[in-house]
Amino acid sequence: MLTIEKYAAIDIGSNAIRLLISLVYIEEGKDPIFKKRSLVRVPIRLGADVFLEKKISEENYLRMLDAMKAFDLLIKTHDIDRMRACATSAMREASNGHEIAAKLKEATGIEIEIIDGNDEAAIIASTDLKSLIDTDKTFLYVDVGGGSTEFTLFADGKTVTSRSFKLGTVRLINEAVEDELWQEAEAWVKDVTKPYEKVSLIGSGGNINHIYKNSGKKIGKPLSYFYLGSYYDKIRSMSYEERIVELNMNPDRADVVVPATRIYLSAMKWSGAKNVYVPKIGLSDGIIKSLYNEKVSETVS
């Protein structure tokens, strides 16, 4: 007998806020199937406030409030069984982050969990990567966000280690990243990947998804280090306006895509990876998976 459940995930990032609504097909004796039904993305750049002013502005709070009210209506319309809202770098570093979360809960009823970098990495790592990591290969999973980048090393189908660095695209375009942080990330990646002879990257985040979509690659085929390097040189040579018009980028993508590509290329160089796979998953997908796992645990107990 087939059971269909509806889950919703809200990801409050440094560059954008997303609502993902997914269906979960559950059939006894089979692995659940997760199917994305709707994704709504609102480009509220909280990081521009927080990484410079250390707090969320009143203007961006009001934009968040409108977005969360809209999300609440969509969640009710879809008749969701379970939902979870998580906030990352920008809200956890904002001096008024918890205050904003409390005000939004009072106005919309949506409770926002402000998670730390390790929790973020763990949620992302819980996403369904069986088609890639359930092998004897070694992968460095790199999720680039506006405020931070999460690295997770997989070997022999298992998580070896993970770490979050305040190396995010919104921070970089606002010149809020010290050289020492790049050096620290480089040293960590080199250290954890050193025991492995061959490492490939798994890239996640809106920027790598955009690059992959426009690469013409067939689903499942990786991008090469050479391709990504050529693409980086191309976008760096173009103006912000040219990236919007000639490369069909959204305005809030056209500036952050440059530092994002730099991070992916750096991770490939540090780990010796020649290819990056792009399965188009992220924190919101991990939240959906965690909701399902919680439901299963409750059923068992």
Q: DSSP assignment of 188-245, as one string? A: HHHHHHTT-S-EEEEEESHHHHHHHHTTTPPTTPPEEHHHHHHHHHHHHTS-HHHHHH
Cα separation, 209 vs 220, in Å, equals 13
Structure tokens at 179: 């050289």
Q: Where are the domains of the chain?
A: 2-117, 129-280
Report the top-level CATH class of 129-280.
alpha beta
Contacts of 190 (CB under 8 A, 6+ apart): 270, 271
- 24 has which bridge partners? 5, 34
What pLDDT shows up at residue 131? Answer: 61
pTM (predicted TM-score): 0.87
Cα separation, 275 vs 226, in Å, equals 9
What pLDDT shows up at residue 208? Answer: 94
In the chain, the N- to C-terminal Cα span, in Å, equals 22
What pLDDT shows up at residue 136? Answer: 77
Fold agreement between 2-117 and 129-280 = yes
Cα separation, 258 vs 221, in Å, equals 22
* pLDDT, one tens digit for every residue, the chain (301 residues): 899 999 999 999 999 999 999 999 999 888 889 999 999 999 999 998 899 899 999 999 999 999 999 999 999 999 999 999 999 999 999 999 999 999 999 999 999 999 987 888 778 777 766 666 656 789 999 999 999 999 999 988 788 998 989 999 999 998 888 999 999 999 999 999 999 999 999 998 889 999 999 898 888 899 999 999 999 999 999 999 999 999 989 998 999 999 999 999 999 999 999 999 998 888 899 999 999 988 888 876 6
CA separation, residue 280 to residues 9, 31, 48, 207, 283 (Å): 16, 20, 25, 10, 11
From 3.40.50.1820, 3.30.420.40, 3.40.109.10, 3.40.50.620, which CATH number describes the 2-117 domain? 3.30.420.40
Please count the other Cβ atoms lying within 10 Å of the Cβ belonging to residue 203.
Answer: 27
As a residue count, the chain comes to 301
Angle between helices 257-271 and 206-213 (to 10 degrees): 90
Query: For 94, left (φ over 0), alpha (ψ -120 to 50), or beta?
Result: beta
Q: E strands within the chain?
A: 2-12, 17-27, 33-42, 82-87, 112-114, 138-144, 149-155, 158-165, 199-204, 223-224, 275-277
What pLDDT shows up at residue 134? Answer: 55
